[in-house]
Structure 1
Amino acid sequence: MSRPRHTTGAPLSNAPAGAQPRDLPAAPRPHATPDRTIHMIGNSHIDPVWLWPWQEGYQEARATFWSAIHRMDEYPDFVFTCDQMVLLSWVEESDPELFARITERVAEGRWVNVGGWWVEPDCNMPMGESFARQGLYGQRYLVSRFGKPATVGMNADPFGHSASLPTVLRGQGMDSYLFLRPGPHESELDDTLFRWRAPDGSEVLGYRIPFEYCSPPGSVDGQVDKALGTLDRSLGDVMVLYGVGNHGGGPTIANIESIHRYDRMGSFGRLRMSSPREYLDGVHARGPEFREGLTVWTDDLQHHAPGCYSAHSGIKAWQRRAQYALLSAERWAAVTAVHDGTPYPREDLERAWKQVLFNQFHDVLPGSAIEHAYDDARDQLGEAVAIAKRLITRAHNTIARQVDVPLEEGSQPVLVFNPHPWPVSTDVELHYGSHPGAVHVVDDEGRVVVSQPTQSRATTNQTGRGALVLRADVPPLGYRLYRVRMAAEPAAPEWSEGAPGGLTVSGTVPGTVLENDLVRVELDPATGWITSYLDKRTGLDVMRGVDGAPHTQVCDDPTDTWGHRVVSYAWAGDTMATARIVVRETGPLRARVRVEREWGASTMIEELLLDHDSAVLRVDVTLDWREPAHLLKLRFPTALTDPRATYQIPYAELERPVDGAEEPGQGWVDLTGTLDGRPAGLTVVMTNKHGYDVSPGDQPSIGVTAVRSPVYAWHDPRLLDGDDVYAYQDMGIQRFSYELVVHGGDRHAADPGRRAALLGSPVRAMLESFHPGTLPRTGSFASDQAGPVAITALKGTEDATAGPGGADLVVRAVETRGAAAVARLELPVVGRTVEAEFGPYQLRTFVVPADPEAPVREVDLVERPLTESADGADGAEGPGRPAGVRTAAVAPDVPAAGGDVPDADAQRASAGLTPTQGSHPDATGRPVPAEAASEDDPA
């Protein structure tokens, strides 16, 4: 009778399968073992939201982390890598015992925190400031709980990565970046390990995760096999990630046992349970020659799932609104903290920002989660906006009660607040108490400003709400007093900001020609779209001869939610039929023409607005979409030749090919070429939309994916079953706006980044009462001079200070045009100015104490003092005093509470303005227009 093999007493020979004793020695390996170390990175990618709601992800984080702790108890060499700080925060608040165990293992070095961000966000669509806040809150969380930040960036699962991310990573203290997509089959980048350089020159080591970031629960041999088949094997030592993921789980006993087994067998090389930091330290140890020999990548990391740029219009709009609202709330809260001693609301802002950051997760913001996940996203982002509105309203009222508003019978005072640190000139829609007769508007000095009636949102006589639109010129991050006088306008008004003239609406079909002294815009009566856009200043017509080109393209779209394997959505499609063209408004300030279109069960209304003194055409869109599995492109054809396309990306801009590819973008896309041998171009400034193409041909065009309506969370290659019932995205009404900016070849002339910010975050008009005050009737708190360097954030310090309101100012600015510049950042709220040198697209952050004796110091994106780095990558001379920074005292534009009220002209002069110049001019020579938020929508 034969005995079982394990009882023979003979030495055990390793085999790829079958039961084997645990804890066998790792050596000696066979001499034929490949000479490389494979760093096995144990992790569990957890999607807190995807095919499940966040409440399920909350529980799964706790279960997965307990599993990792148990594996550490069982295997002394096991190392676990964790990213997404929100998961740790959930465990901290729900299971203190588990969190204490994690803390012990972090100190031991076996629980390794990487990434440093609150979640793994979509890495294309959030604003630059959102990426800054991912690390601000993520890294500060790690330091506060574990005493050390992450040094390795990690976004394993997002569907593409903006070219400017190395700027953010270096600013947050991370020198490297792990990602999976795009794979080698989706990009011209072949390398596994490379140097990734941002437009500003910041650089990190990039590592493309081979094959997958997670593995099945059994043996890891398949994972390692496939990883070795996709990575650059000339590297020698490499990283391979393993562990059950997506819905959590983490490394299993079978995973770990198989690593030990294949290490003993020498099947793939030396298998070592490791961390990303250990591997990357080994890369640095190879010396500068090795690093210098790596490929330098200076572009985005694209493309994967381009449908995500447009899937679920709602989440894109909610996110954009919340980001703008919080940036405004921070600014006003910081102003009243240092000016009035109001406690800086750190906790409120942190709670709101974390809701925003969480919902930038790469299966929420891209639109790829289940339908019910968006109920939670809407509510969470609504909470963030509600917090922002409360803070804005409180700050505005704190300021307003101090403004001197003398009594004037028969008038209604109005304060207009500008949230942007540059002067703006904007059309403000104002609702006020009804008055049966004519009204007009005057500014803070009693001069008549251009205004006209508009339709009120209230259609009942009982509430008595009148409505008008007025031209407001408001200083940087400041306010200005206006009055609605309940009387007809004087017969010969002394216009305060440029007399209107030359604005007409005409055409064989009324409303098909809009004209002022600067431009003439002609519409085709049949299509309702532009056939000519003549710039009278240059004689150029960038849309000349595009009569036959479609503006709307409706396509049957069978692609899945993500748009897997999609290269372009720039397909020929049906045009929406024009139902009617209606003139809605004519007056001295602006003209408004309504174009109504329909296709199938859907309708689209575009209201074209042209001001009397602007070359820019604004379009407000209301889309009622009822077409499952279809898409709508809005197309803007031109007559340009030799076109080049430039897109706004977070903290920078990037030129991309004119090839029709679906690309992600922020607030604007530009097409510049030649017309009649002269430079010319068209910029489309857009709210809430992120999917673009720039297509070649006889009529090169910019395309915007206005809507796609796939099935929720449908992942190709699964085919839809005709017997099932599905929910389709974007059924119903949505609204967005865009502007068309024609130019003579210089896209920066109209400053599209500032236009996009103003279009997305309008000024706020607030009805006020009569009262004495110590503040002037117009004032400014901060200004970046509307130059090439733009202030992106003005906030209070994350750490409390002894100053007013418990906060010093944090001011962050970025160079926006790709050329070195010297910036003068004026901060009259604290009576100081900062002059600093900026390289192309350089991002810098300063702490400006309210105490005039305390020095201004430069900090990183986590608000830590800059220190000179080994390779000088931070560009700092030493702690707190980097190169090219000068500070000085300036006379404040706004006095401290209780101070003297300076003359209004002196106020404008100190801000570099004259009594008749209140803003940064666009290409027309007049200031940037936008519409104000209503008094009850301050965000």
Structure 2
Amino acid sequence: MTDARQAPVANAPAGIQPRDLPPANRPAATPQRTLHMIGNAHLDPVWLWPWQEGYQEARATFWSAIHRMEEYPDFVFTCDQIVLLSWVEESDPELFEQIKRRVAEGRWVNVGGWWVEPDNNMPMGESFVRQGLYGQRYLESRFGIPATVGMNVDPFGHNAMLPQILRGQGMDSYTFLRPGPHESDLAPSLFWWEAPDGSRVLAYRIPFEYGSPPGSVDGQTEKSLAALDRTVGFGENATAMVFYGVGNHGGGPTIANIESIHRYDRMGSFGRMTMSSPRTYFDEVLGRGEAFLDGLPVRRDDLQHHAPGCYSAHSGIKAWQRRAQVAVLNAERWAAVVAAHDGVEYPREQLETAWKQVLFNQFHDILPGSAIEPSYDDARDQLGEAVSISKRIITRAHNVLARQVQVDREDGTQPVLVFNPHPWAVSVDVDFQYGAQRAGVHVVDETGAPVVFQNSQSTATTDDVSRGAVVFRADVPALGYRLYRLRPGAGPGAASGGLTVTEDTLENDHVRIRIDQETGWISSYLVKATGVDVMAGVDGTQHTQINDDPTDTWGHRVVSYAWPGATMALKRIVVRETGPLRSRVRVEREWGASTLVEELILDHDSPVLRVNVTLDWREQAHLLKLRFPTVLEDPTATYEIPFGHLERPVDGAEEPAQSWVDLTGTVDGAAAGLTVITTNKHAYDVSPASADNGDEPSIGVTAVRSPVYSWHDPRLLDPEGIYSFQDQGIQRFSYELVPHAGDWREADPIRRALVLGNPVRAQQESFHDGALPPVHSFASDGGSSVLVTALKGTEDATEAPGGADVVVRAVETRGEAGRSRIELPLLGRVIEEDFGPSQLRTFVVPAHPAEPVREVDLIERPLGAPVSSAPTPSDASEASSAPSAPAQEPESPVTSQRSEAQTSQEDPSKSQTSQPPQP
């Protein structure tokens, strides 16, 4: 006989408990803390699966979240990575409408505001702007609500400029996971994160993990509490976030997750547990008042390190990414020029397509090299699409301009237009392939004056003696062009500069570089003006270091790759090129089945050594460091980060950088330094003097690592297994060595790196009449400390007869307050503005001269009062077209009223600046 009596269910973590029990009073002994339970579904669109699988999983995961909302009225879902929403919008309109309804209710909360969760170290600064530009504008256009909380739960580190970028995109807080408490000196869970310009966000490090198993959340909660800073998670009225939901391959919160939260909330096991969102949590924290907020710690540094092997894994994706970023930025500039100058429609949709391919492939398991091998076929194709779109836009723009240039007929000659994509004047060597000139050529400028040149090797290996190659010096104005002409036959063009070359010496009037014939590396780099030799007698055997590398793809738990290594054997040294313009020495090395070719190039008029590298790598589970030893004493190290720079210890740690690293100290008491600039490489170390490294401080570049694709420790490799290893085959990159007299700013590495990685473009032209002069500039930042990083059309269509509005973004690069002078002959404007140290500012310059220049945020939303601007003088175009001409003064200065948020970071007394009458 069954007992009909039924006792009530006691507080217990297990046992048969009916669903949807009503809330009960928690025990009086419940800990006095509130846990904001953040239901989410981290979804890697690419990782151990291709993007097509991530595409489908986004739809499945989001339907699951909608179903949980139908079942549990208190359930809140947090979503980031806007690309996932865009996939659902285009593939499942019914689901997308459900999401829109839940957003309006406040139960579906979009955070992050970025297209994907990217790697946060290696993309260029402009890429981080575009992550938010496209992400936030998508959210505003579909839901009417942008994100106000930044979120990158899975990337492996976070550069120090992000707080300024986040604030410029309308986000006041930031949520992340890595580095964990064991991986850095970052102790607090909740803190202010401050960028070099003074911008701050309230940052929260997710305790333990961003996702959970599908069952009960007790283990997730306990481990999260164990990882929390005790000042956040413990004590009276403590409050913290705990993330739950199945992740990585999506999935999201489960019924078991949600039921267990309700159960443990009734039991009072961990405190008050409430379904919540990061926005709700940060609002609660911000509402605690100034005394509490002022007491929070302040972090003024990167958030590093996790998985340092990702800075070097898969050289291909690093090179494709940088190439695509540069291409799209160039396309924007030239498209904006012909839109404003010629009324050509600005190709917004094409550029958006290109940018979204670039941004997607910055995802933190693509760009770091940690995805499966087939994913890189997709990445190559997608980035190739971005480059192809960009090249079509650039080619059209250049031809729109070229047909308007006055090119006088001169029979037997070949006109060549050289286009400079940089908003400052450049003096560079141009390699040009020509045809139909059996007697060879010499080069003159637009006035017929001889230009320094020398013959080079043609890329065409044929019997056609009329084809050839020439390299000549081009001096091209800022974001502009210059006309040159190839004339038949030998001609004048000899350069001064004392340029000489032998197998053991490269020398000009600026430097003398000795090459050790035993090691094939530099044994002396003497700067004649100062008498300082930063590489006097260094150990050339340290230049190449090959190590067996048994670390996994990510480099988990690696601190440094700066270990003693095997030296590549010197094969031969050959003088490949000598002439009035430049000299070139080829150094060939080999090790195992691999070869390394470095071609050392010294121009007649520069102290900088440029090196073009061809590496044919055939080693598995090995790495190659290129090391640059110096004789500097008491050195300090400076690394380029997106939009800025950062000092780091000289300790041999594997660190990320954009394009350059500097080592500065003294030589015999004299201030001196060496900057190493690279293309496509992001993994560096700066090592102190030690017996392992020749007793010399040095800069190291991890040129290649070849781990197994997507191999994650602690999985052990089968000695008899068959695996695919990364970076097998040929890769090419370049670097420069720039000695200086003690301040890296003298070397101007930021602009040098941009020119090295983004060369000018030369195109052959025909004879025709035109209204444009043979030399012309459309925009210039003057090469000052304030660098124009973007010149583009506005995101909102503004085309009208007479031109288009233009967006100009600039950043202060020296870490010092400065004043900009941005000349825009394209629109007849000059912008003069004060910049704080490392400050980033964006302006919209209307095509209509009566409309004022206005400052906007990084989403191109209005910011503060309009910026008044002076028109350029009537002869500004002509002045800017001559590289040596002095800049013309504007009729009146350009000032602006800064927003309170900006000026409060500098001097409160400057919150109102004078504004002259509109011209």
TM-score bin (small chain): over 0.9
Paired position in structure 1 for 2:908 = none
The runs of at least 4 consecutive aligned structure 1 residues that moved more than 6 Å come to 892-895, 903-907
Paired position in structure 1 for 2:109 = 112
Q: Secondary structure at the match of 2:118?
A: coil
Q: Deviations over 1:719-749 (max 9, x none)?
A: 1012321000000000000000000002111
Rounded to whole Å, the distance in 2 between the matches of 1:547 and 1:81 is 55
Amino acid at match of 2:80: D
Paired position in structure 2 for 1:609 = 601
Q: Which moved more, 1:139-148 or 1:434-443?
A: 434-443
Question: Offset of 1:24 from its aligned partner?
Answer: 1.4
Paired position in structure 1 for 2:402 = 400
Change beyond 3 A, Cα 1:663–1:479: same
Question: Offset of 1:892 from its aligned partner?
Answer: 6.5
Paired position in structure 1 for 2:235 = none
Q: Deviations over 1:694-716 (max 9, x none)?
A: 00013100000000000000001
Paired position in structure 1 for 2:556 = 564
Amino acid at match of 2:138: Y
Rounded to whole Å, the distance in 2 between the matches of 1:19 and 1:780 is 78
Contact 2:519 2:541 in 1 (8 A): no
Paired position in structure 2 for 1:888 = 870
1:17 to 14, 28, 40: 14
2:759 to 759, 762, 773: 762
Structure 2 residue 790 is matched with structure 1 residue 793: yes
Alignment of 1:143-162 (within 5 A): 143-162=140-159
Paired position in structure 2 for 1:503 = 499
Instruction: Provide structure 2 residue ranges, at least 5 long, that are not aligned to the other structure.
Output: 233-237, 690-694, 890-919
Q: Secondary structure at the match of 2:816?
A: coil
Paired position in structure 1 for 2:384 = 382
Alignment of 1:325-404 (within 5 A): 325-404=327-406
Q: Secondary structure at the match of 1:584?
A: strand
Paired position in structure 1 for 2:648 = 656
Paired position in structure 1 for 2:213 = 216
Structure 2 residue 511 is matched with structure 1 residue 519: yes
Rounded to whole Å, the distance in 2 between the matches of 1:742 and 1:831 is 39
Rounded to whole Å, the distance in 1 between the matches of 2:696 and 2:800 is 59
Structure 2 residue 838 is matched with structure 1 residue 817: no
Paired position in structure 2 for 1:935 = none
Change beyond 3 A, Cα 1:674–1:79: same
Question: Offset of 1:62 from its aligned partner?
Answer: 0.1
Question: Offset of 1:132 from its aligned partner?
Answer: 0.2
Question: Offset of 1:463 from its aligned partner?
Answer: 8.8
2:316 to 314, 317, 339: 314
Structure 2 residue 281 is matched with structure 1 residue 245: no
Q: Deviations over 1:345-395 (max 9, x none)?
A: 000000000000000000000000000000000000000000000000000
1:299 to 274, 298, 301: 301
Give the CA RMSD over aligned residues: 1.4
1:735 to 721, 732, 737: 732
Contact 2:521 2:540 in 1 (8 A): no
Amino acid at match of 1:319: Q
Rounded to whole Å, the distance in 1 between the matches of 2:856 and 2:879 is 36
Q: Secondary structure at the match of 1:372?
A: helix
Change beyond 3 A, Cα 1:671–1:407: same
Change beyond 3 A, Cα 1:572–1:274: same
Q: Secondary structure at the match of 1:257?
A: helix
Contact 2:786 2:811 in 1 (8 A): yes
1:542 to 521, 534, 551: 534
Rounded to whole Å, the distance in 2 between the matches of 1:419 and 1:155 is 33
Paired position in structure 1 for 2:885 = 909
Contact 1:518 1:537 in 2 (8 A): yes
1:62 to 59, 67, 79: 59
2:685 to 674, 693, 712: 693
Question: Offset of 1:407 from its aligned partner?
Answer: 0.1
Contact 2:675 2:747 in 1 (8 A): no
Amino acid at match of 1:606: E
Paired position in structure 2 for 1:274 = 276
Question: Offset of 1:910 from its aligned partner?
Answer: 6.0
| Identical-pair percentage | 73
Question: Offset of 1:159 from its aligned partner?
Answer: 0.3
Question: Offset of 1:18 from its aligned partner?
Answer: 2.2
Rounded to whole Å, the distance in 2 between the matches of 1:248 and 1:359 is 19
Structure 2 residue 203 is matched with structure 1 residue 199: no
Amino acid at match of 1:218: G
Rounded to whole Å, the distance in 2 between the matches of 1:503 and 1:654 is 36
Paired position in structure 2 for 1:33 = 30
Question: Offset of 1:218 from its aligned partner?
Answer: 0.2
Structure 2 residue 668 is matched with structure 1 residue 709: no
Structure 2 residue 416 is matched with structure 1 residue 414: yes
TM-score norm. by structure 2 comes to: 0.94
Rounded to whole Å, the distance in 2 between the matches of 1:720 and 1:418 is 50
Question: Offset of 1:802 from its aligned partner?
Answer: 4.4
Amino acid at match of 2:176: F
Question: Offset of 1:547 from its aligned partner?
Answer: 3.3
Amino acid at match of 1:86: V
Q: Deviations over 1:108-128 (max 9, x none)?
A: 000000000000000000000
Q: Deviations over 1:513-532 (max 9, x none)?
A: 01011100001111110000
Amino acid at match of 2:480: G
Rounded to whole Å, the distance in 2 between the matches of 1:764 and 1:893 is 27
Question: Offset of 1:512 from its aligned partner?
Answer: 1.3
Question: Offset of 1:458 from its aligned partner?
Answer: 0.4
Contact 2:477 2:883 in 1 (8 A): no
Contact 1:125 1:309 in 2 (8 A): yes
Rounded to whole Å, the distance in 2 between the matches of 1:200 and 1:459 is 54
TM-score norm. by structure 1 comes to: 0.92
Question: Offset of 1:11 from its aligned partner?
Answer: 1.9
Question: Offset of 1:410 from its aligned partner?
Answer: 1.6
Contact 2:709 2:726 in 1 (8 A): yes
Paired position in structure 2 for 1:635 = 627
Q: Secondary structure at the match of 2:869?
A: strand
Question: Offset of 1:461 from its aligned partner?
Answer: 2.5
Instruction: Provide structure 1 residue ranges, at least 5 long, that are not aligned to the other structure.
Output: 867-878, 896-901, 914-939
Structure 2 residue 825 is matched with structure 1 residue 828: yes
Rounded to whole Å, the distance in 1 between the matches of 2:481 and 2:746 is 26
Question: Offset of 1:893 from its aligned partner?
Answer: 6.9
1:587 to 576, 579, 582: 579
Paired position in structure 2 for 1:72 = 69
Structure 2 residue 54 is matched with structure 1 residue 53: no
Question: Offset of 1:22 from its aligned partner?
Answer: 1.6
Amino acid at match of 1:822: R
Change beyond 3 A, Cα 1:238–1:903: closer
Question: Offset of 1:21 from its aligned partner?
Answer: 1.1
Tell me the matched-pair count.
879
Change beyond 3 A, Cα 1:339–1:267: same
Rounded to whole Å, the distance in 2 between the matches of 1:444 and 1:382 is 35
Question: Offset of 1:465 from its aligned partner?
Answer: 2.4
Rounded to whole Å, the distance in 1 between the matches of 2:882 and 2:543 is 48
Change beyond 3 A, Cα 1:806–1:369: farther
Q: Secondary structure at the match of 1:317?
A: helix
Contact 1:893 1:907 in 2 (8 A): no
Contact 2:477 2:880 in 1 (8 A): no
Rounded to whole Å, the distance in 2 between the matches of 1:2 and 1:426 is 95
Rounded to whole Å, the distance in 1 between the matches of 2:823 and 2:14 is 70
Question: Offset of 1:886 from its aligned partner?
Answer: 4.8
Alignment of 1:842-881 (within 5 A): 842-866=839-863, 879-881=864-866
Q: Secondary structure at the match of 1:653?
A: strand
Question: Offset of 1:632 from its aligned partner?
Answer: 0.1
